[in-house]
Chains A and B, each alone.
Chain A
Amino acid sequence: MSSFKGRSIFASGPHRFTVGLRGPYILTSGQLGSPGPNTYPSGVRELEIVAKGRLVATSRSALDSLRDAMAAELIDPPTAGALVDGGGRSWADVSMIGYEEEGPVERGRVWSVAYTATFRRFNVLP
Chain B
Amino acid sequence: MLVIHPQSVNFGTVRIENVTAVALTRHAVRATLELTDDAGGGPYHVFADVPEQRVTAVVRQTLSREDALDIKPGTQATLVVFTAPAASDASRRKLSATAVVIDVSAELKAGATPAALRTITFALVSADGATDPVSVVDAKGES
CB distance from A52 to the nearest CB of B (A): 9
Count A-side interface residues using an 8 Å CB cutoff.
22
Beta-carbon contacts under 8 Å, A74-119 to B: 85-87, 106-110, 112, 114
B: interface residue count bin: 10 to 19
**Contact partners of A87 in chain B: CB under 8 A:** 37, 40-41
CB distance from B77 to the nearest CB of A (A): 27
**Contact partners of B41 in chain A: CB under 8 A:** 16, 86-87
The answer to whether B35 touches A14, judged by C-beta atoms less than 8 angstroms apart, is yes
A120 on interface, CB distance cutoff 8 Å: no
**Contact partners of B32 in chain A: CB under 8 A:** 54, 106, 108, 112, 114
A15 on interface, CB distance cutoff 8 Å: yes
The answer to whether B49 touches A86, judged by C-beta atoms less than 8 angstroms apart, is no
Chain B interfacial positions (CB closer than 8 Å to A): 32, 34-41, 46-47, 49-52, 130
Additional A-B contact list (11), CB under 8 Å, known A14-B34, A87-B40, A110-B49: A1-B38, A13-B34, A14-B38, A14-B47, A15-B37, A16-B41, A53-B34, A106-B32, A106-B51, A108-B32, A112-B32
